[in-house]
Amino acid sequence: MSDLIKQCQLSAASDGPLCQPTPVLQKIPTRIAQIGESLTIRRALPHRERRTIGAWCFLDHFGPLDLKTGEMDIAPHPHIGLQTFTWTLSGEIMHRDSIGSEQIIQPGQINLMTAGKGISHSEESLPDTLLHGVQLWIALPDMVRHMEPQFHHYASVPTFKHNGLTISVLVGEFMGQVAPTKVYSSLISLDIAADSAIDTTLPLDPNFEYGILPLVDQAEIGGEIVTQDSLLYLGKGRTQLHVNLPASSRLLLIGGEPFNEEILIWWNFVARTKEELVAATDAWNEGSAFGKVEGYHAGRLTAPPLT
Ligand code: MN
């Protein structure tokens, strides 16, 4: 994702506020952008008021998009230093990458691509009624960020009922349920769906910082009304969270131990220095790295100049 957004800003984790060591309620407005002809996204991270939550460093909420009139069609583009994490509520997306993966993702499944030292991929929606989901990036810790690229598809994740909620554990551990998703720092992600109107609390880890984004309808979190126009940052130090959810609403919760490495994000790259970003940009545009995505119907993206 993000590949066709014209505005390409260098985002330095150290430019934004650091992890809040105590509970806060900080609303981070999402920015609306368009990818290609028809796909509208709401981008929650990075934002000048909040660069990372744990190692989560990028969050796009895409759709709902009627696939009778629109599509997701993201041509081959490269990544370094991150994992891309895709979760859908409806619709199907075909992923292809330069290590030979070809994988359709359906609702309830996860596609996790670990870029490491470099990979390229394409993403295309398949005809369906609606496309709706999220794509996030996870910054890789320095120790593993030059690893060989990998791709994992998870056909199912732990899902259970709790106090009228249907909770899927996408990453990490929650209430004894452990997601299979392979990540390299202490993280959590949950999909929380309210079967009916629910007023309840969720247990949290006080060592994690958290954020919540409504995906369907809105929610009252810690007494604050949050709509899809905002990501609510919760800070650290909470052992529980009060949520008041309307029937059929759905939330994405992300969190993790504060990621204490200073990262630079530019275009589709996560690095530590500007020189690394320039080298990756040149290597992609010259075709000297990142392999080739087989099976995509058209050409590939060009990296914009890094200024
Ligand atoms: Mn991508």
- Decide if 293 contacts 121 (C-beta within 8 A): yes
- Separation of CA 245 and ligand 1 centre (Å): 32
- Separation of CA 98 and ligand 1 centre (Å): 12
- Separation of CA 236 and ligand 1 centre (Å): 29
- Separation of CA 79 and ligand 1 centre (Å): 7
Please report the pLDDT score of residue 272 as a whole number: 96
Please report the pLDDT score of residue 217 as a whole number: 98
pTM of the shown model: 0.96
Give the model confidence (pLDDT) of 14-44 as tens digits.
Answer: 777 888 899 999 999 999 998 888 899 999 9
120/300 Cα distance (integer angstroms): 10
| Spatial CB neighbours of 295, under 8 Å, sequence gap ≥ 6 | 96, 102
240/206 Cα distance (integer angstroms): 8
- Separation of CA 115 and ligand 1 centre (Å): 10
- Separation of CA 131 and ligand 1 centre (Å): 17
Give the model confidence (pLDDT) of 68-92 as tens digits.
Answer: 889 999 999 999 999 999 999 999 9
Q: Is a pLDDT exceeding 80 seen at residue 5? A: no
What separation in angstroms does the CA of 207 have from each of 51, 186, 269?
A: 18, 10, 28
> Once rounded to an integer, what is the mean pLDDT over residues 241-247?
97
239/273 Cα distance (integer angstroms): 36
First to last CA, the chain: 21
Task: Look over the chain and give the mean of its residue pLDDT values, rounded to a whole number.
Answer: 94
- Separation of CA 4 and ligand 1 centre (Å): 10
Give the model confidence (pLDDT) of 182-203 as tens digits.
Answer: 999 999 999 999 999 999 999 9
- Separation of CA 24 and ligand 1 centre (Å): 31
3-state secondary structure of 107: coil
- Separation of CA 268 and ligand 1 centre (Å): 7
Burial 103-126 (b: 16+ CB within 10 A, else e): eebeeebbbbbbbbebbbbbbbbe
- Separation of CA 34 and ligand 1 centre (Å): 15
- Separation of CA 63 and ligand 1 centre (Å): 17
- Reported confidence tier of residue 235, pLDDT bands at 50, 70, 90: very high
Please report the pLDDT score of residue 1 as a whole number: 54
- Separation of CA 143 and ligand 1 centre (Å): 22
% pLDDT > 90, the chain? 86
- Decide if 188 contacts 256 (C-beta within 8 A): yes
98/165 Cα distance (integer angstroms): 39
- Separation of CA 77 and ligand 1 centre (Å): 6
> Once rounded to an integer, what is the mean pLDDT over residues 54-64?
96
- Separation of CA 216 and ligand 1 centre (Å): 24
- Separation of CA 206 and ligand 1 centre (Å): 32
- Separation of CA 169 and ligand 1 centre (Å): 23
- Separation of CA 237 and ligand 1 centre (Å): 33
- Separation of CA 186 and ligand 1 centre (Å): 23
Residue 22: DSSP 8-state: S
